[in-house]
């Protein structure tokens, strides 16, 4: 269970991470929107997992790799912003938050666009060997 301190630090990190990543997206990648959907911090406050939602989703893996490649620079920028609030900046780990894709798939199924009964090939999870 997360403590109040973990939640507070996660909130600070999430807010500043949004500013840094959206600023980078504005400067270098036109038409790309990066949002930080969730940040969780370990109990010893040494690691932080940040879940990113990236639009357009076709570029999400490419952009995630770019973010991971620049994680040292991002961590440094974060440390500069949070130096009055945090003694030590947690190590950052980035992941794709695919919950929006999941919701979209459910939405499409409910609208009848991807009906697994009428089109069993559309559902790869139900394929029989």
Residue 40's CATH number: 3.30.300.20
Query: Rounded CA gap, 14 and 20, in Å?
Result: 10
Q: Is 67 helix (H, G, I), strand (E, B) or coil?
A: helix
Q: What are the tens digits of pLDDT across the range 36-71? A: 999 999 999 999 999 999 888 788 888 899 899 999
Into how many domains does the chain fold? 2
Q: Report the predicted TM-score, pTM, of the whole model to 2 decimal places.
A: 0.75
Task: Calculate ∠ Cα 69-102-19, nearest 5°.
Answer: 40
The domain in which residue 106 lies consists of 99-129
Mean pLDDT of 17-34: 83
Q: Let me know whether 50 and 91 are in one domain.
A: yes
Q: Let me know whether 21 and 70 are in one domain.
A: yes
Q: Let me know whether 127 and 85 are in one domain.
A: no
Q: Let me know whether 92 and 112 are in one domain.
A: no
* pLDDT for position 127: 47
């Amino acid at each position: 269970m997360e403590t109040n301190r973990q939640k507070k630090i996660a909130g600070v990190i999430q807010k500043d991470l949004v500013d840094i990543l959206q600023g980078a997206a504005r400067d270098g990648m036109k038409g790309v929107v990066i949002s930080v959907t969730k940040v969780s911090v370990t109990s010893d406050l040494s690691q932080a997992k940040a879940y990113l939602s990236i639009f357009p989703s076709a570029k999400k893996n490419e952009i995630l790799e770019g973010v991971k490649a620049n994680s040292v620079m991002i961590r440094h920028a974060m440390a500069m912003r949070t130096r009055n609030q945090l003694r030590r900046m947690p190590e950052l780990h980035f992941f794709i938050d695919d919950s929006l894709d999941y919701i979209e798939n459910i939405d499409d199924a409910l609208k009848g666009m991807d009906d697994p009964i009428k089109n069993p090939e559309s559902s790869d999870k139900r394929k029989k060997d």
